[in-house]
Amino acid sequence: MKGRSNSSPVVAVAMSGGVDSSVAAKLLVDQGYQVIGFTMMLVPPSPDRPEFDDVRGKFADAVESARRVARLLGIPHHVVDLSAEFERKVVSPFVRSYEFGFTPNPCLWCNPAMKFGALFAAAREFGAEKLATGHYATVRFDPQKRRWLLLRGRDRGKDQSYVLYGLTQEMLGRSIFPLGDFTKQQVRKMAKEFGLPSAAREESQEICFVGPGGYAALLQARGIRSVPGDIVDLEGNVIGRHRGIVHYTIGQRKGLGLSRERPVYVVGIDAEKNRLIVAERDKAYFSGAYLEGFNLISEERLEGPVQATCAVRYRGKEVPCTLEVEGQGDKATVFFHVPQFAVTPGQGAVLYQGDIVLGGGIIVRAWR
């Protein structure tokens, strides 16, 4: 930032208008940083994308809420239109994943690609040296390993280290997570004490670019047709019909339309043959998974199998496992010491050693 006299670092804060990012910004201001607020506009404002009609208002509300907080804190605020990049790096891959029978978690791509990638690149034009978010996680430098480490947040019920496993060493080195040592209850209390207008704002648990019609409506708008097909058992016997594989996920029991003596669950999605594979619950447990896009964080490389714990979904229960990294390090295999229910292609498998994130990747296949 040209002409500044203050020697403290310039920190860009990703402000969604919610309580977490608002309190993060306030804490940084109080700590003496030069803070600039940024809000990402992730859907195009023009009506040429009607599938986003129902969420444009949500983004507009977020912008206005962030502006009010920035005015109260006395910091600059900028809206950055990243809709084209968001379409290319998040929305399009999300849509395509369903064609392969995956159940994607777009936050796993959005964080490294958008917040810590595209947004920081835009913030650097304003002099930003660091990027802060309202995530409940912690980052620290290990001088012995000479690596940045990602750790869980103090609030285990809100810990968001799972969705940050894709951050590179460079990204972690310029990241600040002001809420890592606080609980959600403490953050809510601070927001009220600070008089932040976002203190009472409800927390959204939904995918930000999906409207009330759900992801199926978005897929339909993008030309992904729900083609009915066969439901088969493990022997390949046809036992029913499904309404399109995009409506189902591994571990699903309801909505199958089957009348069976004992409940059955989706244990496989064969996108090539447009089939659902179902079985009783004991067959929905998996012994291991193959991962792609693996990002190793706490170590530069691994020599041989490594013991860790693994979560196969956001806020999922961790289990002991053995990790083996393959090839150039971007592929890995996880062997669960205890079989896991509904290990789902498209979700992330994140590995921990204590509170430290060892690394993670996208599940592409699981086996019983």
Domain residue extents for the chain: 10-214, 225-279, 286-367
Query: Between 165 and 1, whose confidence is greater?
Result: 165
Assign 6 a pLDDT band (cuts: 50, 70, 90): low
Q: How far apart are CA 154 and CA 152, in angstroms?
A: 7
Q: Is 107 a catalytic residue?
A: no
Query: Mean pLDDT throughout 51-75?
Result: 91
pTM: 0.92
Give the span between the Cα atoms of 364 and 224, in whole angstroms: 20
Q: Which among 107, 110, 310, 321 is annotated as catalytic?
A: 110
Superfamily of domain 225-279: Adenine nucleotide alpha hydrolases-like domains (2.30.30.280)
Confidence band, pLDDT 50/70/90 cuts, at residue 3: very low
Q: Say if residue 125's pLDDT is above 60.
A: yes
Tell me what pLDDT residue 1 has: 39
Taking residues 308-315, report their average pLDDT: 95
Q: Give the whole-number percent of the chain exceeding pLDDT 90.
A: 80
> HEC states along the chain?
CCCCCCCCCEEEEECCCCHHHHHHHHHHHHCCCEEEEEEEECCCCCCCCHHHHHHHHHHHHHHHHHHHHHHHHCCCEEEEECHHHHHHHHHHHHHHHHHCCCCCCCHHHHHHHHHHHHHHHHHHCCCCCEEECCCCEEEEEECCCCEEEEEECCCCCCCCHHHHCCCCHHHHHCEECCCCCCCHHHHHHHHHHHCCCCCCCCCCCCCCCCCCCHHHHHHHHCCCCCCCEEEECCCCCEEEEECCHHHCCCCCCCCCCCCCCCCCEEEEEECCCCEEEEECHHHHEEEEEEEEEEEECCCCCCCCCEEEEEECCCCCCCEEEEEEEECCCCEEEEEEEEEEECCCECEEEEEEECCEEEEEEEEEEEEC
Average pLDDT over residues 262-291: 96
Average pLDDT, the chain: 93
Q: Is 208 a catalytic residue?
A: yes
pLDDT interval class at 251 (50, 70, 90): very high
Four-way CATH pick for 286-367: 1.10.287.610, 3.30.70.260, 2.60.40.10, 2.40.30.10:
2.40.30.10
In this prediction, residue 268 has a pLDDT band, given cuts at 50, 70 and 90, of very high
Half-sphere exposure of 57 (CA within 13 A, CB side): 4
Q: Looking at domain 10-214, which of 2.60.120.10, 1.10.10.10, 1.10.150.530, 3.40.50.620 is its CATH number? A: 3.40.50.620
SS (H, E, C) 43-102: CCCCCCCHHHHHHHHHHHHHHHHHHHHHHHHCCCEEEEECHHHHHHHHHHHHHHHHHCCC
Residue pLDDT, tens place only, 352-367: 999 999 999 999 999 9
Determine the pLDDT at residue 182.
Answer: 97
**pLDDT recorded at residue 288:** 98
pLDDT digits (tens, 9 = 90+) for 90-107: 999 999 999 899 999 999
**Annotated catalytic residue: which of 107, 208, 310, 321?**
208
pLDDT at 5: 43
Mean pLDDT of 224-241: 95
Backbone angles phi, psi at 148, to 5 degrees: -80, 135
Mean pLDDT over 202-223 rounds to 84
**Mean pLDDT for the stretch of residues 189-200:** 89
Task: Give the pairing of strands 147-152 and 175-176.
Answer: unpaired
- Read off the pLDDT band of 205 (50, 70, 90): low
- Give me the mean pLDDT over the 293-302 stretch: 96
